[in-house]
Structure 1
Amino acid sequence: MSRSDRRASRASRASRAAVAALGAAGLIALAAAPAAFADDAEPDLVVGGIKPIDGLKPGSTFDVPVTVANKGTATAGKAWVTYAVTRGLDFAEVPSNCWTQHVRSYDEMPERWTAVCEYDQPVEPGVRYTPETPLRVKALDRALDDELRVEADWNAPWPDENGDDPVAGTAPPVKLVETQTGVTGTKRLVDVPVTSVNTADFQVTGAALKGSVGETVPMKLGFTNAGPAWVMSTTVKVVVTPPAGTSVVKVAAFCRAEGHVYYCGMRQPAYNEGGHENYTFQLKIDKRVPHAKGSVALSTEPRPFDPDKTDDKADITLDVTGGDPTGTPTGTPTGTPGGSGGPTSSPTGGSSGGSSGGSSGSAGGSSSTGGAGTTTNGGNLAATGSSALPIAGVATTAAVTGAATLAMVRRRRNQNPG
């Protein structure tokens, strides 16, 4: 066996030994796996006792009864309960073992306030607890359709990175106490609606447009929630119908076309009390249509919170300057004397208007507009224009033929001298 063959044989044996070692290690790991996964006991905190709240009046308060239970197989060393309310609600009093945070609207989520309460005490499996003093929430003047979220965890939650800096509570601290009443929940997180008796006035704003035929003008429309309440969620749309005789060359943001009508949505902040949404279209005036008028209106979905329907629709008026009702611009017709696009002057320097004294027509003759802007004068100018081109062509042909004949004669003379 050569030296190279011996090296290859040793390498092969080493490779097989390495594979065998890895296989043995894998078997040892698999054998040990059941023992490692057997000790997977951990806490599992859930909340209960949260029910929808209805019929609040702005300025009133309510308590949040909540139970915390541990459905896991291990004791939790601590418990955290997080309360979150949408912008129509706020916390009346916050214990010092809690911190609050204001979170701005983002990713289509509404603005909200959170309160995170830390309970530095063990929570045993199978035991139900409740705060010795429930957290109190108040309804603000803008309250209408809001939401309350309650969540329990045995790990500390982090503040929201889109929120303001957390602020510690100032009321006396609160502990969890065991309770035999209440309901044991099944979820770690629960959302419930909180509704108040209030109204919100949705309004639209029209536009008064002015321009000439062929001009493109901006059409600025608007939506406003005049309050006093904010609206967390609604399917209402703004419906835009442009005036007749116009065409949209640029559509506003959040709008889509369905035929000649445009349906526009809006951002979440527009639903806040005093919130606005503006829609700017670019509108081309194609022709003048007498008394043309468009509209901007709210869609017809039910809005029981908005009893005032007088401002749900507004006009879009259009004042067209210039142009007859069919769309032709007003002024001197094309091709007539003095009008744009007509003849300017005759070769003799006189006016093409046909008046005596140097006109291109006969003395005292008049000109009129012919088809496609051609000026006629008893047929003379038209005849001159139509016959001049053939005559010029014949003259050119004769000149070329004569030159060719002369060249041939000269060549023959040169070939046959004498």
Structure 2
Amino acid sequence: MTRFSPRTAPLRRAGGLAATALLLAAGPLTVAAAAPARAADPVFTLGGPAETALHPYAEGGGAPKRSTAGITVTNPADEGYEGEFTLTFDLTGVAGVADVAFDPGPGVECETKGTRSAVCTGDTLAPGLSTVTGLLLGAAKGSEQGAAGTIRVTGEARSATSTPLAAPFTPFTPFTTRVTVGGPDLVMRKLPFDHEPTPGQKQQAPITFANRGSRDADGVVLTLRYSRGLDIPQRYSNCAYTTDETWTTARCSVEGAFEAGATYTLAAPLTLEATTRAYRDLFVYGIQEAGAVPRAASAARSERGSGAVLRAVPLTKAPAARGVDLEPGDNEQEAEFRTANTADFMAYGDEASGAAGATVTARLGFHNDGPAWIGRIRSGGSVAAVDFTVPQGATVTSAPKGCRGVTAEGAYREDRKTPAPRYLCPAPTAVRDGGGLDLSFGLRIDKALIGAAGRVTVRGPGLQEAGLPFDPKPGNNTARVVLNGQSGGGPSPSPAPPAEGGPGAGSGRTPSAAPGTSGTGAPGTTGRGGGSLASTGSPAAMTASVTAIAALTTGLALFAAARRRRKA
């Protein structure tokens, strides 16, 4: 029997505490995880236009003009929903106001039940926003100008987690849309621009629009949106301006009653200028009735102009009731410009040194020395790509997000897990003048070779698009990444990367580094090109090891002391 006495109790308690500390230092305790909770059914949300205007009923027997209102469902899940769903349309609110027909989407069937209701059914809902059916709306016979009503839409889907004791269907968030007979119909006239200007060329833009609807418009909002290579020098006091990397947007509120059947133009035409940075640009101009334009998220960051008031003539003084546009599709026009200009994309590389086993960081990319900005704002495709060939004797441990490993010849590579000998990194859709693309690669030096060099090339975005048609100096499209270059005349990157904070620094889109496997080995030195060696070893692991050893030593000492006292 082991004796327990007050004299030995503190020592036993100390030994127990030391053993506990040893266990905690050796590794974390694990607790069995509870069974995962069953995922709840997604909450589907119905939507569509808040209001739709209808052409008045044609009394002469002509074919009625119909307006379309798309009814949408938002599925918040990342995957599509497979299961029966039903949408019910309450049409009692538009009886005598509108005739309703349906244009269902793929896999959806709709059936009208008299003039009071309709039902649409389906069995699949894609993730995100999708249109389930279009409502084909026409003014009912005998309806009057200004007549209005509402259509209420409800829905339900069979629950994927239903049980005999639970409700078999999950309801949708309902939606109501308003229908009105008559309204203004603002139509923007297309302007005859010179679509191939030269840098610095200015053109007059006499914005002209008409109201072809059945009602007057009470005030209008003129929206002007132009890409980075264009400018409108006038800054009107009744316009709110916002500017981002690619676009400048002006929303101008013009007061007055704009009569049905009348045409209006600006009191003074706008001036549209192709700036020195113009290349491929867009100018979008549109007109809507005041109150029909939703408040943009960027409105809080907008700035008012300080110039004259933008006016449209002729203006009438008669009061007008505000309505909804009959044909929203003709409210806007756009003009595309192809300016004869160039942009010099300059590649840059890096230089670093280290012993075999060391890990260094290579910074590389390109800088747009202008004068033009380059953007594919219509297609949304990348404007260029950085092609990086890894130096001999090195292995990539981390690559920027979005960079794709290819074979040494530049061909497709199915293996996405192991390091590649070559990488293609797409540039963004638009690269500003003074911007560019800055990338960082982690490189492990497997074999220390003097002057091992990798190639950095800025090129077209596709494997078959080697050149840059806008670049007048293809000779500086290539640079090098050099490892362990000899001092005093050894190889160095050409041209040198831009200094931190200088042109191109932080002005391009810099993808974040993807996780890689850090190499360990002998320490190295930082290259003058900006490469830096990764630290080897883990401070947290070393601290845990020291703590465990100290706890073990303390526990053994206390245990030995307790045995000596017990024998005494």
**Which of 297, 321, 344 is 1:201 aligned to?**
344
Answer yes or no: is 1:318 the counterpart of 2:483.
yes
C-alpha distance in 1 between matches for 2:95 and 2:226: 50
> Which of the residues 151, 157, 166 maps onto 2:303?
166
SS at match of 2:233: strand
Task: Report how many residues are paired.
Answer: 285
Distance 1:202 1:49, change over 3 A: same
Equivalent residue for 1:238?
Answer: 386
Mapping 1:79-98, distance limit 5 Å: 79-96=220-237, 98=238
Is 2:242–2:250's contact at 8 Å kept on the other side of the alignment?
no
Work out the CA distance in 2 between the residues paired with 1:198 and 1:49.
Answer: 26
1:209 maps to a residue whose letter is: A
Question: Match of 1:214, SS?
Answer: coil
Query: Structure 1 CA distance, aligned partners of 2:219 and 2:260?
Result: 13
Q: TM-score, normalised by structure 2?
A: 0.45
Matched, 1:78 2:219: yes
Within 5 Å, give how 1:185-334 maps onto structure 2.
Answer: 187-233=330-376, 234-259=382-407, 260-267=421-428, 271-288=431-448, 292-300=452-460, 301=465, 302-319=467-484
Question: Structure 1 residues 154 and 28 mapped into 2: Cα distance closer, same or farther (>3 Å)?
Answer: closer
Matched to 1:131, the amino acid is L
Question: Aligned in 2, Cα 1:29/1:318: closer, same or farther, shift over 3 Å?
Answer: closer
**% identical aligned pairs:** 28
In structure 1, the residue corresponding to 2:252 is in which secondary structure? strand
CA-CA distance at 1:309 after TM superposition: 0.5
Amino acid at match of 2:239: W
Q: 1:141 aligns with which of 276, 281, 296?
A: 276
Does residue 60 of the first structure (1) align with residue 185 of the second (2)? Answer: no
Is the partner of 1:162 in helix, strand or coil?
Answer: helix
Question: How far, CA to CA, are the matches of 2:393 and 2:338 in structure 1?
Answer: 47
> Of the candidates 226, 241, 257, which is equivalent to residue 101 of structure 1?
241
Q: Is the 8 A contact 2:190 2:333 kept in 1?
A: no
Do the aligned residues in 1 keep the contact of 2:227 with 2:281 (CA within 8 Å)? yes
Q: Residue 310 of structure 1: SS of its match in structure 2?
A: helix
Q: How far 1:126 sits from its partner (Å)?
A: 3.6
Cα deviation digits, residues 273-299 of structure 1 (max 9, x gap)? 111321111111122457632101022
User: TM-score, structure 1 length as denominator?
Assistant: 0.60
What is the CA deviation profile of residues 362-391 of structure 1, one whole-angstrom value per residue up to 9, with x for unaligned ones? xxxxxxxxxxxxxxxxxxxxxxxxxxxxxx
- Deviation of residue 224 (structure 1)? 0.4
Asked if 2 retains the 8 angstrom alpha-carbon contact of 1:209 and 1:318, the reply is yes
Secondary structure of 2:232's partner?
A: strand
Cross-structure match for 1:44: 185
Aligned-partner Cα distance in 1 for 2:369–2:313? 43
Residues 1:254 and 1:134: Cα distance change in structure 2 (over 3 Å): same
CA drift at 1:267: 4.2
Superposition deviation, residue 225 in structure 1: 0.4
- In 2, Cα distance between equivalents of 1:74 and 1:30: 20
Question: Would the alpha carbon gap of residues 290 and 172 (structure 1) be closer, same or farther in structure 2, given more than 3 Å must change?
Answer: closer
* CA distance in structure 2 between the partners assigned to 1:239 and 1:149 by the alignment: 35
Q: 1:29/1:91 Cα in 2 relative to 1: closer, same or farther (>3 Å)?
A: closer
Match of 2:289 among 149, 154, 161: 154
Higher helix share: 1
Output the CA distance in 1 between the equivalents of 2:439 and 2:310. Answer: 50
Q: Classify 1:166/1:128 alpha carbon distance in 2 versus 1 (closer, same or farther; 3 Å).
A: same
Q: Contact conserved, 1:48 with 1:185, CA < 8 A, in 2? A: no
Matched to 1:145, the amino acid is R
1:248, distance to aligned residue in structure 2 (A): 0.6
In structure 1, give the amino acid aligned to 2:185. D
CA RMSD in angstroms, aligned pairs only? 3.2
Instruction: Call closer, same or farther: CA 1:65–1:213 in 2, change over 3 Å.
Output: same
Map Cα deviations across residues 39-62 of structure 1 (whole Å, 9 max, x no partner): 521112121223454343333321
Once residues 91 and 227 of structure 2 are traced to their aligned partners in structure 1, the CA distance between those partners, rounded to angstroms, is: 55
| Distance in 2 (alpha carbons) for counterparts of 1:165 and 1:28 | 43
Distance in 1, matches of 2:288 and 2:367, equals 41
Distance 1:244 1:43, change over 3 A: same
SS in 1 for 2:475: coil
Aligned residues of 1:104 and 1:162 also touching (Cα < 8 A):
no
Give the 3 Å change call, closer, same or farther, for CA 314–242 of structure 1 in structure 2. same
Q: How far apart are the structure 1 equivalents of 2:429 and 2:226?
A: 16
Hey, what's the Cα distance between the residues in 2 that align with 1:27 and 1:298?
A: 60
CA–CA distance in structure 2, aligned partners of residues 225 and 134 of structure 1: 34
Aligned pairs for 1:108-147 (under 5 A) are 110=246, 112-147=247-282
Equivalent in the alignment of 1:7: none
Does the 8 Å contact 1:49/1:65 carry over to 2? Answer: no
Residue 479 of structure 2 aligns with an amino acid whose one-letter code is A
